[in-house]
Amino acid sequence: MNEFEARLSECLEALREGRWDVAECLRRYPGHAAGLRPHLVAASKLIAAYGQPGPSEEFVRASRERFLVASGQRLHEAFDVEPNPSFFVAARVRFLAAAHQMRMAQQNGESRIARLFQTHARAMASAAAVLIAALSFSTYTVASADNSLPGDWQYPVKLQTERVRLALAFSDGAKRDVKLDIAEERAREIEQLTKRGRIIGPGVLDRLVEQTKPLVDEAGPDWNTGDVARLHTLAEREQVALKQAEPHIDPAAHVELAQARDVSKEAVVRSDSILVTRTDALPRVVTPSVPLADLAEVTSTPEPATDTPEASTTESSTPQATATSKPSGVQVDATPEDATGDVNWIRLAAGRFTTLIPSPADGWTISGMDVAAGPVPVPSLIKLTNVNGTSLITFNVKTGDMYWFVARNGRFD
């Protein structure tokens, strides 16, 4: 899909959903205004033609009364008419002729029935083939729409399927599950659009806000802990997805991007405020599944790593540092060495130690230093923070001690 097709798809979706009109579309994309105008004008006329309001209730009621009155008059007139005597004579003649034909048909009745059956069987077979083909195509369209992305021809089918799922969810818990599923799908779509290098327009971000904001407003003490934790995970995923998608965001969508960031941040704060009151909400512990190994260029005798002390009930275990030969500065290998708990772990080397840390792709950054430009001087303490500032990892370069802190009630424990 080229840039023009992406702009056209974005504008058509906005027109269909009523978010923009033709003038707004042309204002947002002046470079493609000449090509977009005829398509958008035609689409606008179709939407207006098929979107005409229905008749008023008063008109419907009056029309129904007139129909009933007219029907009653015709029935009354029909029952008042007496049959003509010639009608009885003609009816008797027709009855006798039909009886004669039935007697004649008994002689070759079986062959006639067979011919009729063959004719009807062929008609039914043709109808069944058409029905099966239609059902197969419909099933394929709905099934393939599950993985479609904004701009794909199946995407409107996907949105309509989601509306049907929500309409068929009757209990509050079932509706909440479907809403969380749909919001997670909006985050996945942004991730996939970013991975494929496609332009992310305002409509994509608007749909993310439309699905996440109601969940933030509805979240409360009546939610079970699992749903609150799921909302928290969703919000963090959205923040990471939005941060990675920045290079692909349409320049005309900066307002929508800011709104999406605000809603995701609000979701993190809201879910955190509920989770801290739950006794069954334990902090998530993430550790690599493979043991850490020394760097290949080790020349000195490794020193044992220091275990992380249990400072509080909210503290999580972290990878332990391994002693190495002293590098020239802080170095980070961007290639993941392990993937555990949906987290990609990369290698950090500083001073005499090396360890695995969560990657920037998972929303973690090293505070106060840019290691992407090359090795930087080794500080005494390295701090890693996640994208929403709710977690903090400290790495003591002198001792190798590492601590993972979690924010609770505005402070780190």
What pLDDT shows up at residue 118? 59
* Mean pLDDT of the 141-158 span: 77
Of 208 and 307, more confident: 208
What pLDDT shows up at residue 112? 56
Residue 295 pLDDT grade (very low, low, confident, very high; cuts 50, 70, 90): very low
Please give the share of the chain, as a percent, with pLDDT higher than 70.
Answer: 67
> By the 8 A CB rule, do 200 and 250 touch?
yes
Please give the share of the chain, as a percent, with pLDDT higher than 90.
Answer: 18
What pLDDT shows up at residue 294? 33
Distance CA 317, CA 229 (A): 19
Half-sphere exposure (Cβ direction) of 34: Cα atoms closer than 13 Å: 1
* Mean pLDDT of the 261-286 span: 76
| Average pLDDT over the chain, rounded to an integer | 75
> By the 8 A CB rule, do 185 and 165 touch?
no
pLDDT, tens only, 340-394: 656 788 888 887 778 888 888 888 888 877 777 667 787 878 888 887 777 788 8
> By the 8 A CB rule, do 412 and 392 touch?
yes
- Most confident stretch, 67-71, 72-76, 246-250, 280-284: 246-250
pLDDT, tens only, 165-188: 888 888 888 999 999 999 999 999
Strand partners, 348: 332, 355
Buried/exposed code over 111-147 (b: 16+ C-beta within 10 A; e: otherwise): eeeeeeeeeeeeeeeeeeeeeeeeeeeeeeeeeebee
Q: Rounded to two decimals, what is the model's pTM?
A: 0.47
pLDDT, tens only, 318-341: 455 555 555 557 888 888 888 765
pLDDT, tens only, 218-263: 998 899 988 998 998 999 999 999 999 999 999 888 899 999 999 9
- Residue 113 confidence (pLDDT) above 90: no
Domain boundaries, the chain: 3-49+150-275, 322-412
What pLDDT shows up at residue 179? 94
Of 12 and 281, more confident: 12
